[in-house]
A and B are shown apart, each in its own frame.
Chain A
């Protein structure tokens, strides 16, 4: 009996983990406790395990180095988490989302389904400035939902499109999910961003196609705004002319700058064009020249600051000027400047944003710390080999594996949020994926799209709850039309999300079928001098040496096959390939 337990401690420990987590004590400490409990059990049972358990007391000494080391505390990649979180919270307080929704809604309002397109577009734009799901959904629920209800949008479509567009923040860079996945998969965040951008845009396109199909299939489900609701008036021609002028200026500047700036001329040219048109719009508005239509003015003035911010963050990362962490820091500073320019910045806002950021950082990093304790033991009982064996033997090879894993993650996402999935589940899946020759960026993007569903599937998805908190629960009188508007029921919110969950599944399937959507990241020319700091080291050879004086993994060649994979590595300085010492 004892031998049986000892030789099967890995599956037993995994079941134990589920029990520990379901117990309901905070995840971070449950993980650590599970790790420590099975460590003790493992050490006691090791003599009976026939070599299956390689745990001994001295291994615990590895924990301090493990926490100090570059997987937890001295981790440049995870440093991006507080930076982007802070940026997102400051932006949500700056009123940018509200302005965008108003303006883009006016721009698209006159066409059928226009408000829905506007919500999707703004959702994608917010996502590209580190949208926070909660903030995006709430802003849309506050601003767009009442307008949609006023003009007779189908409630289910309206609430579904809002909840789904808010979750785009999870997959469109610079998202926290991608940072954490990159870290756990041992790939560079820059590559992960580059890989995710096309699937993110395709997904946005799929949402829009769904709206387009719905406008044909059920013509009255999303009527165009009536004339009296188009407050910004006409003037699309003026906007097109302004954009053409901006493009012309940019091109001219590009030609002039090429001799002096070389390869950077196109960026500088674009910058000049954008600044000129922005300055022109601001001047036109404040002086009242009336050269542009109001619509054109408004669109340019509202749209350019967020686009500039997106360039400041994503542009610098993709061009290799800044690491993702630095991009996050610059984005945070940019968000502060933008909020200040709008007169929305005060001490209280900064304090609150910092408090939320610190709270999130503390619980996320402690889940990571707990997960490190867990994986120290799990590796010691050869759990990684057990999981790998289990997963590699799935029928259907690479595709079979991806399908099984995605179904698994889809189901787990009902109960676990993405931080827990990323720190507990992903490290178990990664070595198997790597062994099957699956590109880990591709794998990460797939998981990212999949985990996005966890925000929107009824009845657990958080985006639905955020929307519930702002959607009317009781009938109300509309201020503009004076008509009585019926409330949005919870059932409508749930059913509205279902088509988008299906779209999400389709997107996962598309990404499996067309990996080239992700794989183009390899073609990116990245200055190696710039990315060296963001690649978490594996195998120990390529790192300029850890401050602790120990090699990062202490991985001997025998373990290297597995350890070169991004998996949660064995404790630094611990040699698991050697026979256990007792």
Chain B
């Protein structure tokens, strides 16, 4: 169990690092989009490469942050029924979900995206838009996103089992979406007062 937990911590750290870092890509995407719009209007110049760069960056941000979002337990659930169970039952639901919902899907996607991305690299596929970007990095981002998500799934399974055996504390205790909303409100109040 110790070795597994170490593995889980390593995965968590990597995904946390990535998850925090990729959010800057959104700012970059915003700046590109704004500058691109102004230049297009002012100088009547338009470039497909810059248009495509915007969604490449956004794609990288949301795909690569998905694993971190999973770690933070921030993917939204419908908790009307879930919220009624004991914490123990919720752990079981999470574990079953990780093993039978998350893992098959992410692993299947990794399995499909490897040849899909490789084919694009081999063919040197370029966007069909005039002056567009090369395509494989975008496909590689999808592959990377699902890979990290699968890894995070493994980490979550390890942690869930450890929590249920009592080997570690629960890092993300359950709160209902409404409690979360109230907490968010309180945090915002603190911030505005400071």
B-contacting residues of A (Cβ < 8 Å)? 20-30, 32-33, 36, 60-61, 63-65, 67-68, 73-76, 79, 82-83, 86, 92-93, 95, 98, 134-135, 138-139, 142, 321-323, 325-326, 328-330, 332-333, 350-351, 354-355, 357-359, 361-367, 373, 415-417, 419-420, 460, 462, 465-466, 468-470, 533, 544-549
Across-interface contacts of A416 in B (CB, < 8 A): 78
Show 18 A/B contacts (Cβ-Cβ < 8 Å), sorted by A: A24-B85, A25-B97, A79-B33, A82-B26, A92-B188, A134-B188, A325-B33, A333-B31, A355-B23, A362-B65, A363-B69, A366-B62, A416-B78, A460-B178, A469-B182, A533-B51, A547-B127, A547-B135
The distance from the CB of A462 to the nearest CB of chain B, in whole angstroms, is 5
Nearest-neighbour CB distance to chain B for A61, whole angstroms, equals 7
Q: Is the CB of A28 within 8 A of B186?
A: no
Confirm or deny: B88 has a beta carbon within 8 angstroms of a beta carbon on chain A. Answer: no
B159 shortest CB reach to chain A, Å: 16
Q: Is the CB of B19 within 8 A of A26?
A: no
Q: How far is the CA of A139 from the CA of B85 in the complex (A)?
A: 34
How near does chain B come to A412, taking the closest CB pair, in angstroms? 11
For residue A548, which residue of chain B has the nearest CB?
A: B135
Interface status of B4 (Cβ within 8 A of chain A): no
B55-72, CB under 8 A of A: which get 1 and which 0?
A: 100110111011011101
> For B69, what are the chain A residues with a Cβ–Cβ distance below 8 Å?
359, 362-363, 366
Residue among B68, B83, B93, B101 with most chain A CB within 10 A = B101
Interface hits, B156-184 → A, CB 8 Å? 177-178, 181-184
Residues of B within 8 A of A (CB): 19-20, 22-24, 26-27, 29-34, 36-38, 41, 51-52, 54-55, 58-59, 61-63, 65-66, 68-70, 72, 74-83, 85, 90, 93-94, 96-97, 100-102, 104-105, 108-109, 112-113, 116, 125, 127-129, 132, 135, 138-139, 142, 177-178, 181-186, 188-189, 191-192
- Tell me the total A-B contact number using a CB cutoff of 8 A: 240
B92 CB, min distance to chain A CBs, angstroms: 11
The answer to whether B128 touches A544 (Cβ under 8 A) is yes
Q: Is the CB of A326 within 8 A of B189?
A: no
- Contact in complex: B128, A24 (CB < 8 Å): no
CB distance from A183 to the nearest CB of B (A): 13
Q: Is the beta-carbon distance between B101 and A134 smaller than 8 angstroms?
A: no
B75 touches A26 (CB 8 A): yes
Please state if A73 and B55 are interface contacts (CB–CB under 8 Å): yes
Contacts of B112 in A (CB 8 A): 60-61, 63-64
Closest 8 CB pairs of A and B: A24-B82, A469-B185, A25-B97, A329-B33, A26-B75, A33-B101, A326-B37, A354-B23
Q: Give every chain A residue within 8 A of B101 (Cβ-Cβ).
A: 20, 25, 29-30, 32-33
Q: Assess whether A358 is in contact with B138, with CB atoms less than 8 Å apart.
A: no
- Given A358-B65, A420-B78, check contact A322 B128 (CB 8 Å): no
B185 touches A329 (CB 8 A): no
Structural contact, B62 and A361, CB atoms closer than 8 A: yes
Residues of B contacting A30 in the complex (Cβ-Cβ under 8 angstroms): 97, 101
Partner of A23, one of B58, B97, B125: B97
> Which B-chain residue is minimally distant from A27 (CB atoms)?
B76
Task: Return chain A residues, CB-CB under 8 Å to B63.
Answer: 73, 365
Report the separation of the CA atoms of residues A388 and B83 in the bound assembly, to the nearest whole angstrom. 34
Residues of B within 8 A of A95 (CB): 192
Docked pose: A573 CA to B168 CA in angstroms: 48
B142 touches A67 (CB 8 A): yes
| Residue from B75, B90, B178 within 8 A of A363 (CB atoms) | B75
The reply to whether A23 and B23 form a contact with Cβ atoms under 8 Å apart is no
Report chain B residues within 8 Å CB of A361.
Answer: 26, 58, 61-62, 65
CA distance A67 to B55 in the complex (A): 13
Do A64 and B113 touch (CB < 8 A)? yes
Q: How far is the CA of A420 from the CA of B113 in the complex (A)?
A: 26
Q: Which residue of A lies closest to B72 (CB)?
A: A359
Q: Which residues of B contact A469 (CB under 8 A)?
A: 181-186, 189
